[in-house]
Amino acid sequence: MNIFPRTPQDSKKENAVNKVVEIPVSAIVPNPAQPRVIFDDYELSRLAVSIQQNGILQPLTVRKIENSLNYELIAGERRLRACRLLNMTYVPCIIINASVKDSAVLAVLENLQRQDLTFMEEAYAIKNLIDYYGLTQEETAARLGTAQSTIANKLRLLKLTDDEKALVVKYKLTERQARALLRLESEQRPDAIHYIGTNQLNTSQTDEYIDCLLKGKTEKPKIHRRWTYRAVNLYINTFNKTIDAMKEAGINCETTKNRTDDFVEYVVKIPLKQMN
């Protein structure tokens, strides 16, 4: 026998779990374990335009904070930020039953599965999980559904100094290149990162270059770089996406494309009246 009689409010709260409900944006607080720390303003603006035109296609995931009127965000940080850019009052959310610990793991998992995080953000997220909840690497690997060696390799990246991490991000080095830098003495790394980044070395070239540094050789390995059709197309696609984003934002720009055997020419006309 339940000595605490159920109230209509209790039933209402239970019925809301695992269903899409409208929640005030002001009532949603960040997840302290949110692994994402880098948010691209351009991509957020594009997402905001898409939400404005099409609505939120995937509800946010939240959990009710005990003894509070607020909800903790589990998944949907970018969507929430985009909604705030639009000054939206309510957003569709799915409320799930989750403990503080489960919420943190779910926040990391959601981003890892969507491949939204940089490898540095992944490393910090994993370290935060381990430190805050006292998990071992093996326990963390089991929770995240990955190998213990993967966790160990991610954590090794954090041996780089903050300045070195910033340079790695600036020059867009890969995870393997960043780990290879750990073979060098700390004073050698900034120049090495600059050389790898400015010369756009691939992984094998990076390993060869670091081998030369470790052996004390002053002669740097030869760099063989060749533009490929695929590489050029990546830049063309990026340009096309920029034009699409302008049109989605309501800028009625006119584009003319002329392609020959030797080059691709784009002419973009933006009416100045729209910019006043």
| DSSP secondary structure, 134-186, as one string | T--HHHHHHHHTS-HHHHHHHHHGGGS-HHHHHHHHHTT--HHHHHHGGGS-G
Cα separation, 72 vs 90, whole angstroms: 15
Neighbours of 270 (CB within 10 A): 13
Written as one string, the DSSP assignment of 1-35 is --SS---HHHHHHHHHBTSEEEEEGGGEE--TT--
Q: Is the pTM of this model over 0.75?
A: no
Question: Parallel, antiparallel, or unpaired for β 60-64 and 71-75?
Answer: antiparallel
Cα separation, 176 vs 164, whole angstroms: 15
Closest residue by Cα to residue 107 from 65, 138, 63: 63
Per-residue pLDDT at 2: 34
In sequence order, which residues have a C-beta less than 8 Å from that of residue 61 and are 6 or more positions away? Answer: 73, 74, 75, 76, 93, 94, 96, 106, 110
The reply to whether 208 belongs to the active site is no
Cα separation, 152 vs 155, whole angstroms: 5
| pLDDT tens string 183-240 | 999 999 999 999 999 998 999 999 999 999 998 876 666 665 555 545 566 667 777 7
Per-residue pLDDT at 121: 81
One-letter amino acid identity for 39?
F
Residue 80 predicted with pLDDT over 80: yes
| pLDDT tens string 103-118 | 767 766 666 655 556 8
- Cβ–Cβ under 8 Å, residues 122 and 38: no
Per-residue pLDDT at 99: 73
247-254 average pLDDT score:
76
67-82 average pLDDT score:
88
Residue 137 predicted with pLDDT over 70: yes
Per-residue pLDDT at 76: 84
More confident residue, 72 or 38: 72
| CB burial of residue 158 (10 Å; 0-12, 13-18, 19+) | middle
More confident residue, 261 or 86: 86
Per-residue pLDDT at 85: 92
One-letter amino acid identity for 173?
L
Per-residue pLDDT at 149: 93
Top-level CATH class of 13-99? alpha beta
147-164 average pLDDT score:
93
Per-residue pLDDT at 58: 85
123-133 average pLDDT score:
81
Neighbours of 5 (CB within 10 A): 6
The full set of domain ranges for the chain reads 13-99, 118-159, 160-241
Question: From the candidates 77, 110, 121, 122, which is the catalytic residue?
Answer: 77
